[in-house]
């Protein structure tokens, strides 16, 4: 695709990456805060949503952010200094330097390959100062904080505490040369208004629902499959699998109103097939 680079590692290179990943995991896993939930054994998406659901009713205010151009903005010198402070071996640091050079074709000293085999751990470490700042702030205060990759959510009992927490986010991010996204990708307000996080819509007095963005992506991906010639059977299977993912790991916390048929109808309507007989037949297919 235009604007993207595809890099192929030879066999020795792949082995060096695997060895580096193991070494990084050994060094970083004991260090990284459990408040950073995308790392192994820290809960993942579903664990984060379960934790939010269990406490949201105890808090009045919420701030939800994501970091602007997170992977593209990571500063190599800051990241390498962080790795040196935790005594990562020199040979592992050398591999990381080569790894950082893959997306940095212009020598800017910035950028990290999103989705790369080392990126999850390196991305977790880069915002470790933010996790630790909140770990201290939460002690003795009515604040809840979680971070998944570059997605951040904060719950607070009072407006004053929320403002304190938001100022901390901006202050810590500035020390690592990052900033939060613009107003279209953040929300600050009352929890009773509901908010989106990690593909779900959360509200203190309702069951979970898919977020608007999650539903939009479902419909758009289904449209791409349809345009590529996918059969109705394949499209239905795609929607069923999405529905199972939505429910999975959340122990009955998700609203089941209308079931999978509700979302299949939305997808099929989005495809805009004009024959009304076909529309009715397919919508009754689940």
| Band of residue 251 on the pLDDT scale cut at 50, 70, 90 | confident
pLDDT tens-digit series, residues 154-205: 999 999 999 999 999 999 999 999 999 887 678 999 999 999 999 999 999 9
pLDDT of residue 93: 94
- Kindly state the percentage of the chain with pLDDT values over 70: 90
pLDDT tens-digit series, residues 118-134: 999 999 999 999 999 99
Instruction: Report which of residues 262 and 7 the model is more confident about.
Output: 262
CA 162, 167, 172: angle at the middle one, nearest 5?
125
Q: Which two tokens stand for residue 103?
A: 């997306």
| Band of residue 222 on the pLDDT scale cut at 50, 70, 90 | very high
Q: Which two tokens stand for residue 185?
A: 């990708």
| Band of residue 285 on the pLDDT scale cut at 50, 70, 90 | low
pLDDT of residue 275: 52
pLDDT of residue 284: 57
Residue position matching structure tokens 């990126």: 119
**H/E/C letters for each residue in the chain?**
CCCCCCCCCCHHHHHHHHHHHHHHHHHHCCCCCCCECCCCCCCHHHHHHHHHHHHHHHCCEEEEEEECCHHHHCEHHHHHHHHHHCCCCHHHHHHHHHHHHCCCCCCCCECCCCCCCCHHHHHHHHCHHHHHHHHHHCCCCCEEEEEECCEEEEEECCHHHHHHHHHHHHHHHHHCCCCECCHHHCEEEEHHHCEEECCEEECCCCCEEECHHHHHHHHHHHHHHHHCCCCHHHHHHHHHHHHHHHHCCCCCCECCCCHHHHHHHHHHHHHCCCCHHHHHHHHCCC
pLDDT tens-digit series, residues 9-51: 566 767 888 899 999 999 999 999 999 999 988 999 999 999 9
pLDDT of residue 2: 41
> CA torsion sign, 170 to 57 to 37 to 213?
negative
The sheet carrying 187-190 orders its strands as 143-148, 151-156, 61-66, 187-190
How large is the average pLDDT for residues 54-67? 96
pLDDT tens-digit series, residues 42-51: 999 999 999 9
Mention every residue, 6+ apart, whose C-beta is less than 8 A from residue 199. 45, 210, 211, 213, 214
Q: Residue 272 above 90 pLDDT? A: no
- CB atoms under 10 Å from CB of 270, counted, come to 16
pLDDT of residue 4: 44
How large is the average pLDDT for residues 51-77? 95
Q: Which two tokens stand for residue 202?
A: 């959360």
């Amino acid at each position: 695709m235009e604007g993207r680079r595809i890099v192929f590692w030879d066999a020795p290179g792949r082995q060096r990456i695997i060895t580096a990943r193991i070494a990084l995991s050994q060094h970083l896993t004991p260090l990284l805060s459990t408040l950073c939930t995308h790392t192994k054994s820290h809960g993942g998406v579903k664990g984060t949503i379960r934790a939010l659901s269990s406490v949201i009713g105890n808090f009045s205010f919420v701030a939800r952010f994501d970091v602007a151009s997170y992977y593209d903005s990571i500063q190599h010198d800051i990241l390498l200094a962080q790795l040196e402070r935790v005594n990562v071996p020199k040979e592992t640091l050398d591999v990381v330097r080569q790894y950082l050079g893959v997306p940095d074709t212009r020598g800017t000293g910035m950028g990290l390959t999103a989705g790369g085999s080392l990126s999850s751990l390196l991305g977790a470490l880069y915002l470790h100062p933010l996790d630790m700042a909140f770990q201290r702030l939460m002690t003795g205060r009515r604040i809840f904080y979680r971070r998944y990759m570059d997605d951040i959510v904060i719950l607070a009992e009072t407006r004053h505490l929320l403002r304190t927490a938001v100022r901390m986010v901006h202050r810590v991010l500035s020390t690592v040369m990052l900033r939060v996204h613009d107003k279209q990708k953040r929300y600050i307000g009352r929890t009773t208004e509901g908010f989106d996080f990690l593909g779900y819509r959360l509200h203190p007095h309702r069951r979970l629902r898919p977020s608007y963005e999650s539903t939009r992506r479902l419909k758009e991906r289904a449209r791409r499959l349809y345009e590529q010639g996918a059969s109705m059977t394949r499209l239905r299977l795609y929607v069923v699998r999405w529905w199972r993912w939505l429910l999975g790991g959340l122990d009955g916390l998700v609203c089941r109103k209308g079931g999978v048929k509700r979302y299949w109808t939305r997808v099929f309507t989005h495809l805009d097939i004009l024959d009304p007989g076909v529309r009715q037949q397919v919508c009754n297919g689940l």
